[in-house]
Amino acid sequence: MEQEFSIFRLSNGIRVVHKQTDRPVAHCGLMINAGSRDEREGEEGIAHFIEHAIFKGTKKRRAFHILNRMDSVGGDLDAYTTKEITCYYASFLTEYYDRALELISDISFNAEFPAKELKKEKEVVLDEIKVYLDSPSDQIYDDFENQVFDGHQLGHSILGTEESVRSFNKKNLLDFTSRLYRSEEMVISSVGNISLKRLKNKLEKYFGEVPSNKASQFDRVKFNNNIPVKNVSEAKDTYQTHCMMGKAVYGAKHPKRLSLILLNNILGGPAMNTLLNLNVREKYGYTYSIESHYATYSDTGMLSIYLGTDPKYVDRCVKAVHRELRRLREVKLSPTKLRLYKQQLKGQIALSRENNGSLMLYYAKSLLTYGDIRKTDKILEKIDEITAEDLLEVANEHMNEKDFHYLYFRGKNS
């Protein structure tokens, strides 16, 4: 049974979730409902660039002092950006709660974005873009999302383009943060050995002066799934051929989302006993890497299948994938198989909640996305309620290869 947590708001509207533990290491983070899909024309990559630049100086700290603040006591300070979220978080010994909270607050709301540091950081991000372009197995994911979400901000690369990154200046960064770093769209998450009362006092001290912003400025453009399916093929100077196929599917709040999560887990999830791994990789030896993913966003999602193979095997691989999709659409799972697949998914979810750092991030994302925390035991109960008929229905709705987009990075001799 999952230990209880507490949810409350600060005086300025920032939501907080806290779980008290008896462990010596604590974790806390600030998660903001702002990501690459919130970028306007010309801002492509700015959410991610801010995540880098925010560590480069505040009104009272230089870059070294920011980086050294947690490192010097054996802690970690980190950040990440997704299509919809920016997060700044830290892990540390419990005695350094004040240090971590004050630092996260300082970089999030007092960043100065010094011109000299921005110039250097642009080169870092541009190098990051080049690393992606040098890795077809990474680049194909970004290009495929752009194909599926053609014309929508969800299709933009989180990293942006060389042109957009080079164009950023301090004003651009401050405009984006003032528009989207709003108290009503923020969650602070904490997992550590501190009482609720003490944490509230510290949070009001370090975050209470952040202006309350309830204005309706959130202009996130919803995705309407009316993009014609495409089959795109590009020649690459590689020895492998990389392929992705898939389509837009349910979003994070859809009632059938868990059924699709279970189906994806069966098809090509993280385990070694998935249908794709057993019946394409192990049975025929066609490919070293084959997997499926289900990414959810607030109003839509994407189901994708990736494989990398020798050019001479690519058509056979795709046909083998189609066979597995057809099986999921046509063959109802037996009670025994369904029970085993459910046990596998439930175990994976339970294990992912065992790490307190991951749990802190899960709490933040759940509260930001759903407005509450979806307890692990309740999620497991919902998985138990899924029937074989539910899976057939979802498979027929979203796992027909004729409805898929296809993208090939074709290697030499293909």
Q: What is the mean pLDDT of residues 49-73?
A: 97
Q: What is the DSSP string of 346-404?
A: HHHHHHHTSSHHHHHHHHHHHHHHHSS---HHHHHHHHHT--HHHHHHHHHHH--GGG-
Q: What share of the chain in percent tops pLDDT 70?
A: 98
What contacts 38, CB < 8 A, 6 or more positions away?
47, 84, 153, 180, 220
Q: What is the pLDDT of residue 3?
A: 61
Q: Mind listing the pLDDT tens digit for each residue in 67-103?
A: 999 999 999 999 999 999 999 999 999 999 999 999 9
Cα-only R_g, the chain:
23
The predicted model scores a pTM of: 0.94
Distance from chain centroid for Cα 225:
21
pLDDT at residue 60 tops 50 = yes
Q: What is the pLDDT of residue 2?
A: 53
Average pLDDT of the chain, as a whole number: 95
Domain ranges of the chain: 6-207, 231-410
pLDDT at residue 341 tops 80 = yes
Burial 107-127 (b: 16+ CB within 10 A, else e): bbbebbbbeebbeebbeebbe
Provide CATH code, domain 231-410: 3.30.830.10
Which range (79-83, 282-286, 393-397) has the least confidence?
Answer: 282-286
pLDDT range class, residue 262, cuts 50, 70, 90: very high
Cα 357 from Cα 26, distance rounded (Å): 8
pLDDT at residue 217 tops 80 = no
Q: Which residue has the tokens 């998985």?
A: 383
User: How far from 118 is each of 68, 121, 169, 290, CA to CA, in Å?
Assistant: 19, 5, 8, 39
Just list the catalytic residues.
Answer: 51
pLDDT range class, residue 220, cuts 50, 70, 90: confident
The residues with which 29 forms a beta bridge, in sequence order, are 89, 189
Widest Cα–Cα separation across the chain: 66
What contacts 2, CB < 8 A, 6 or more positions away?
353, 375, 376, 377
The residues with which 410 forms a beta bridge, in sequence order, are 235
pLDDT range class, residue 1, cuts 50, 70, 90: very low
Q: Mind listing the pLDDT tens digit for each residue in 151-199?
A: 999 999 999 999 999 999 999 999 999 999 999 999 999 999 999 999 9
Q: What is the mean pLDDT of residues 356-362?
A: 97
214 vs 399, higher pLDDT = 399
Positive or negative CA dihedral for 381, 387, 392, 397? Answer: negative
Using alpha carbons, select from 263, 227, 226 the residue that is nearest to residue 400: 263
Give the number of other Cβ atoms within 10 Å of residue 165's Cβ.
22
pLDDT range class, residue 22, cuts 50, 70, 90: very high
DSSP E strands, 112-269: 186-192, 231-235, 241-249
Distance from chain centroid for Cα 365:
10
Q: Encoding tokens for residue 2? A: 């999952």
pLDDT range class, residue 221, cuts 50, 70, 90: confident
Q: Mind listing the pLDDT tens digit for each residue in 302-333?
A: 999 999 999 999 999 999 999 999 999 999 99
pLDDT at residue 414 tops 70 = no
Cα 189 from Cα 187, distance rounded (Å): 6
Q: Which residue has the tokens 């794709």?
A: 276
Provide CATH code, domain 6-207: 3.30.830.10
Cα 88 from Cα 66, distance rounded (Å): 13
Q: Mind listing the pLDDT tens digit for each residue in 104-123?
A: 999 999 999 999 999 999 99
pLDDT at residue 216 tops 70 = no
Q: What share of the chain in percent tops pLDDT 90?
A: 91
Cα 106 from Cα 54, distance rounded (Å): 10
